[in-house]
Structure 1
């Protein structure tokens, strides 16, 4: 039996992709590219080429359990780890780590979000295998750093150090999403990489890190240590998960640990976190309009992203420049691309003024 495992985090709401992504059916379950597979399914397909299907786990909110079962019928019930409430990535990863450790204390784990695009899959899989081999031999927490192609403000950054172990570089600092001026400095320095949000480690290394930096989580999980990977696990998680702090793995552990290493990668990565990120990678017409799976006629319109949920609908756009036009279900969104960070506000206001049906 292989010691390699994969954890796919699939519990987010994806509110920045509203109105396509809704709380009841968030973006990881959507077929964003019209290929017949959702982002979650594409992530699963990718890892199943190098990780045995029985060693792949999905961590998601319990309200999405039916969606996961429908989209990934290959998985056994025990491979779908259900969070009773949202507590960010650190408790999510701790839960999966304890579950896997109870099954295999020698496990090497790759942790991945469910909403990333990988264009060069062969290179990606080789890098993942290199990372799994590295964490098997070294007590290190590894992240994959993407060489920036532009001064991007939507991504976090990793600063590399001079110390290396083979191709793996010691991490000096993590930085949250910078402003435009700082992003330019990072881009020009050559020392900074985009934080891909992909992590690799041996299960003992990450549990030790939780013990050291987030003891509130391990103290809670240690109460039911013998229940993990048993029929009693679900009840224990339902009763205890909400007591975990709401904190990200980056802030809670990666920014504090002294054994963090980075592998610099170039496999055509994109974090599909926003309409803007989708616009950047989408094919465009001669006027730089991205028309996603949609019947659209444009006139004197440039640099728009247009997405229609109803494939039988036709949109006629005249004189529009630099906008997001997204029509799905009972909501039509028309928003300047440069102001898309206000979408979360729009969602909250829609729910407040018109009810949860628009959330």
Structure 2
């Protein structure tokens, strides 16, 4: 009985913490390091890369269950992707905010925050990318709960991912003193946000034990975020608040076409997080859940189950894939034809109807560069 009472009390605490909480899901980018699976017209957040039956976007929306109601989930995406987004997540179709052109994360998150603030007044919002993979739902919810608590006290809060290797693909956050003495609290002051480092600097970061990966997840009150924007980026603040004022009116399209192109193209880390951290007004909650941005085929391979004892991975119809003397590969046969690999370890072979990629897992980050070359050298390139 005591256990049940404690559990019920815990659920009440969680519901209280999440009251009014609103999720913002930026859904943009082409995911070019996952080409040719991910394309400009079919980016990775619309794909079921893990074979779960749900796209990364759908899984992100699913993850919000227990944090907020569907009418408190906003997706910000481009016009080209809006129909597919609405089709994949019809429960939040009414809250799909359409950008007229990509203006980076500050504009996307700022627009949603301004619209939420205009509709509901000061509200704690959290931004969660549409194309990330998270493992450990209960731990994720607990981390968000702690972030919401810190946000209620006026902090701009980020969620820090354990840095398991000296990656040069992510930004870093240096954590400082504890924010609270409450048992179980993992909230810390942020000492600094750091841009993507070189390999030597990344190793130095890990050696200190103070650095976490910056996964781009931010939790903050709308009035606090807009207040920071008004101080630091006043032009952006004015445009976003003007757009929010007319968003639910017939004047939206005209205002977007006139005002949106004037917005500075800048990530939220640079626009707000770095200067706010320098002022001592940013916090970090140390996360314990599994996270991956599925940034390339090497990271995707690490998320997929092995199909044999040699650690090979398959995407799509594995019955069409034949390997001999191969270990650590990731192969896709999505074009519907046989793909045979002989004597190559750690190879990436992605076969689609109009393009084939062959590389190694070690060169997975460089796929973006080959896509640039394809676009430049091949007429009507399938990118």
> TM-score w.r.t. structure 2 length?
0.88
CA distance in 1: counterparts of 2:260 and 2:356, whole angstroms? 37
Structure 2 equivalent of residue 133 of structure 1: 149
Q: Is the 8 A contact 1:170 1:260 kept in 2?
A: yes
Residue 149 of structure 1 deviates from its aligned partner by 1.9
Structure 2 equivalent of residue 55 of structure 1: 72
Q: Is the 8 A contact 1:103 1:229 kept in 2?
A: no
Q: Is the 8 A contact 1:83 1:238 kept in 2?
A: no
CA distance in 1: counterparts of 2:301 and 2:267, whole angstroms? 27
Residue 188 of structure 1 deviates from its aligned partner by 2.0
Structure 2 equivalent of residue 177 of structure 1: 196
Structure 1 equivalent of residue 122 of structure 2: 106
Give secondary structure in 2 for the equivalent of 1:348. Answer: helix
CA distance in 2: counterparts of 1:223 and 1:8, whole angstroms? 21
CA distance in 1: counterparts of 2:257 and 2:19, whole angstroms? 30
Q: Is the 8 A contact 1:143 1:198 kept in 2?
A: yes
Structure 2 equivalent of residue 149 of structure 1: 164
Aligned pairs for 1:287-302 within 5 A = 287-295=310-318, 296-302=321-327
CA distance in 1: counterparts of 2:82 and 2:163, whole angstroms? 36
CA RMSD across the alignment: 1.8
Give secondary structure in 1 for the equivalent of 2:127. Answer: strand
CA distance in 2: counterparts of 1:238 and 1:56, whole angstroms? 24
CA distance in 2: counterparts of 1:345 and 1:289, whole angstroms? 25
The structure-2 alpha-carbon separation of the partners of 1:162 and 1:129, relative to structure 1 and needing over 3 Å to count, comes to closer
Residue 232 of structure 1 deviates from its aligned partner by 2.3
Which runs of 5 or more residues in structure 1 are unaligned?
none
Give secondary structure in 2 for the equivalent of 1:19. Answer: coil
Which runs of 5 or more residues in structure 2 are unaligned?
1-17
The structure-2 alpha-carbon separation of the partners of 1:50 and 1:164, relative to structure 1 and needing over 3 Å to count, comes to closer
Does residue 1:20 correspond to 2:37, yes or no?
A: yes
Mean CA deviation greater in 89-98 or 161-170: 161-170
Residue 17 of structure 1 deviates from its aligned partner by 0.9
The structure-2 alpha-carbon separation of the partners of 1:251 and 1:266, relative to structure 1 and needing over 3 Å to count, comes to same
Aligned residues: 356
CA distance in 2: counterparts of 1:128 and 1:36, whole angstroms? 26
CA distance in 2: counterparts of 1:235 and 1:63, whole angstroms? 18
CA distance in 2: counterparts of 1:252 and 1:106, whole angstroms? 21
> TM-score w.r.t. structure 1 length?
0.94
Residue 183 of structure 1 deviates from its aligned partner by 1.7
Structure 2 equivalent of residue 315 of structure 1: 339
Structure 2 equivalent of residue 337 of structure 1: 361
Cα deviation code 1:156-195 (max 9, x no counterpart) = 1111112523431111111122222222221221111111
Residue 224 of structure 1 deviates from its aligned partner by 4.7
Q: Is the 8 A contact 2:146 2:285 kept in 1?
A: no
Equivalent position to 2:180, from 124, 143, 165: 165
CA distance in 2: counterparts of 1:331 and 1:57, whole angstroms? 34
Give secondary structure in 1 for the equivalent of 2:191. Answer: strand
Equivalent position to 2:87, from 40, 45, 70: 70
Give secondary structure in 2 for the equivalent of 1:291. Answer: strand
Q: Is the 8 A contact 1:115 1:273 kept in 2?
A: no
Structure 1 equivalent of residue 59 of structure 2: 42
Does residue 1:201 correspond to 2:220, yes or no?
A: yes
Give secondary structure in 1 for the equivalent of 2:364. Answer: helix
Residue 86 of structure 1 deviates from its aligned partner by 0.8
Cα deviation code 1:289-311 (max 9, x no counterpart) = 2222342222122222212224x
CA distance in 1: counterparts of 2:154 and 2:218, whole angstroms? 14
Does residue 1:7 correspond to 2:24, yes or no?
A: yes
Residue 125 of structure 1 deviates from its aligned partner by 1.3
Structure 2 equivalent of residue 270 of structure 1: 292
Q: Is the 8 A contact 2:315 2:334 kept in 1?
A: no
Structure 1 equivalent of residue 13 of structure 2: none
